[in-house]
Structure 1
Amino acid sequence: MIRSLIDLLRNLQSEEDCRLFLENIRWHGVPVCPHCGSKSEEHYKLTNGGVFRGLYKCKDCRERFTVTVGTMFEGSHIPLQKWFIAIYVFLAHKKGISSTQLHKDIAVTQKTAWFMLSRIRYNIRYNADIDFGDITQVDETYIGGKNKNRNAGKRLKNTRGRSLKLKAPVMGLLSDGKVYVEPIPSASKWVLHHVINSLVPKGTTVVTDGWYGYKGLSENYVHKVVDHHRGEYVKGGYHTNSIEGFWSQLKRGIIGVYHLVTRKHLELYCDEFAYRYNTRNLTDGERFSQFLSIAKKRLKYRMLIL
């Protein structure tokens, strides 16, 4: 078990060390063919110049494979050690790490570092299933800069309040200490109700603030309203403080580390912060190992820039 960044650097010094570590995480000592699913210690080990470097041949389907086939590392020319360092610091830093900083830390180009971070976020995105319990806190927020901070020639007109020209609305649902975050087209009643109805079991308790978009939830839920405009922050033991605390982490991370997030990639960044929040009770080493076990989605660069 990796317990710290120093531990990672000490124990995973070579590509061979990283390969064996990943094989233990994925296969638990017994190779599994990603093509046919055959699990056996009798898969052929293919050598190059008399040296085995992790290339197997399935004894059943005869296809060749390595431990990276069927994972986010498949086809990557970046050494596993650099991947592991990037994943570890990305998951361990509470507010993430920018591609500008990562490219300096692991000696790759900024473009490569950005792609690596995007591929990590992509795998987090597909592992965000949450079971909502008896009480769900629901809130919405807006991500984006202020019009007054724009260059004088780029300032927009008619951008009062919750203008969608400047900011992107994001909806969050928190239950049993875990959060689900989703960018939404608007904070209208139809959109908010649609998200809640599709995720939260009917008959459970939903706690919101006084925003008009939540009106009518009492038809399907036990709806508790904490009206901040009236100075209410806890009412009858119910509150939205937890989801609002998550918003502070998300916004501080975007402002302080990433500075700017486009609407196109906003969903990936939201899932990034949600994953770290939902695994906050794990140690950094446990979170790192857990991620390696679920990182099976391969994001190609052309998909990222379309």
Structure 2
Amino acid sequence: MFDVLSNEEECRKHLEKLRWNDEPICPHCGSQRKEHYKLKNKGVFNGLYKCKDCRNRFTVRIGTIFESSHIPLRKWFLAIYLFSSHKKGISSIQLHKDLDVTQKTAWFMLSRIRYCFSSKIDFEFDGIIQVDETFVGGLNLNKNKSKRVAKSQGRSVKTKTPVFGMLSDGLVYTEVVPNTKGATLKEIIRAKAKEGSTIVSDGWLGYRGLSKDYMHYIIEHNKGIFKKDGYHTNGIEGFWSQLKRGIIGVYHVTSPKHLHRYCDEFAYRYNTRHMSDGERFNLSLVNSDDRLTYKELISNQ
């Protein structure tokens, strides 16, 4: 693929083909037509257009993660390919070596790409839905004695961040939550799962009461039961395993502030796992129109 996208010109044309299908779209007024003016610099066209309707200038980068970036598209494309094709992701340290950019630049690039990996479709689950919650963060015993939290075993959120997940028909949805109380979990389930669906969960008390709106199967893991009438939660638990192995093995640590982006990243790879690397790469380019600014990234919000 990168033998074909060997220079900036070919990368620009590829992005225009995917985003515009050879009919440039003005990001200022939304006008889509082949007749937009192509502006040349010293007789050479480098992708700068002038809208035939509103007369504003634009390029294919505007409104994407590539806007206002001095990084060549070829390096951006390589970063997206590596990031999306590696099952467990790629660290900013490794990417800065691969692309010959600073580690800070690589981190910002990965953050922008990760931001675009969030789900574009507000889908509703139906059929058989596995639900489960997990906790992400370092072990309390591994912390310095001065930073350890007393009485933080079990489902305590004092040292780890809770994440809730739903899986159905090969698609997974994750959400970082403030707690694993019943009101919190059931609000998400009722918003994402069609009424009358089959919910499969473990024996956590927070799932009690779901039988009013759903067929609710409880797999009592604490009693050594891991399958009941053909139902189980192995799928969502397997996804948690991938998420945690990726965080521990590649990223080593994630802050609660950015954890939702890492969950989106692994959910994106999981949901597109049947695509080829090239198909996932092109899909990522098509979905690159959510731009995260550096100010937003480092803000305290």
Decide: shared fold, TM above 0.5.
yes
User: Who is 1:284 aligned against?
Assistant: 277
Aligned equivalent of 1:303:
296
- Residue by residue, what CA displacement relative to the aligned partner does 1:40-77 show, whole Å, maximum 9, x if unpaired? 22111111122110000011111101111121111111
Alignment of 1:258-269 (within 5 A): 258-269=251-262
- Structure 1 vs Structure 2 CA RMSD: 1.1
2-structure distance, mates of 1:277, 1:296: 21
Counterpart in the other structure of 1:293: 286
Matching residue of 2:94: 101
Q: Report what 2:169 is aligned to.
A: 176
Q: Which runs of 5+ in 1 are unaligned?
A: 1-6
For 1:95, give the aligned amino acid.
Answer: K
Moved more, 126-135 or 96-105: 126-135
SS of match in other structure, 2:162:
strand
Distance 1:191 1:148 in 2: 28
Q: Following superposition, which runs of at least 4 residues in structure 1 exceed 6 angstroms of deviation?
A: none
Q: Determine if the alignment matches structure 1 residue 234 to structure 2 residue 198.
A: no
Deviations 1:143-162 (A, max 9, x none): 01111111233222222222
Q: Answer yes or no: is 1:247 the counterpart of 2:268.
A: no
8 Å Cα contact 1:128/1:275 also seen in 2: no
Amino acid at match of 2:28: H
The separation in 2 between residues aligned to 1:105 and 1:257, in whole angstroms, is: 15
The alpha carbon displacement at 1:128 in A equals 5.0
1:14 to 1, 7, 24: 7
For residues 88-127 of structure 1, the C-alpha deviation after alignment (integer angstroms, 9 at most, x for no partner) is 0100000000111101110111111111111011111252
Cα-to-partner distance string for 1:237-261 (whole Å, 9 max, x where unaligned): 1110000010000000000000000
Aligned to 2:187, what secondary structure does the other structure show?
A: helix
Contact kept, 8 Å, 1:130 with 1:180, in 2: the verdict is no
> What is the alpha-carbon distance in structure 2 between the residues aligned to residue 30 and residue 188 of structure 1?
50
- Following the alignment from structure 1 to structure 2, what is the Cα–Cα distance between the partners of residues 150 and 57? 58
Q: Tell me if the contact between 1:32 and 1:40 (Cα under 8 Å) persists in the aligned partners.
A: yes
Query: In structure 2, what is the Cα distance between the partners aligned to 1:33 and 1:145?
Result: 47
Aligned to 2:198: 205
Paired residues for 1:110-259 under 5 Å: 110-259=103-252
Task: Give 1:83's aligned residue.
Answer: 76
Amino acid at match of 2:70: H
Q: Which amino acid aligns with 1:299?
A: L
Q: Say which is worse superposed, 147-156 or 227-236, in terms of deviation.
A: 147-156
Aligned-partner Cα distance in 2 for 1:27–1:291: 15
TM-score by length of 1: 0.95
1:232 maps to a residue whose letter is I
Aligned counterparts of 1:180 and 1:294: Cα–Cα separation in 2: 18
Counterpart of 1:43, as a letter, is: H
Q: For 1:127 and 1:100, how far apart are their aligned partners in 2?
A: 28
Choose from 19, 24, 37 the match for 2:17: 24
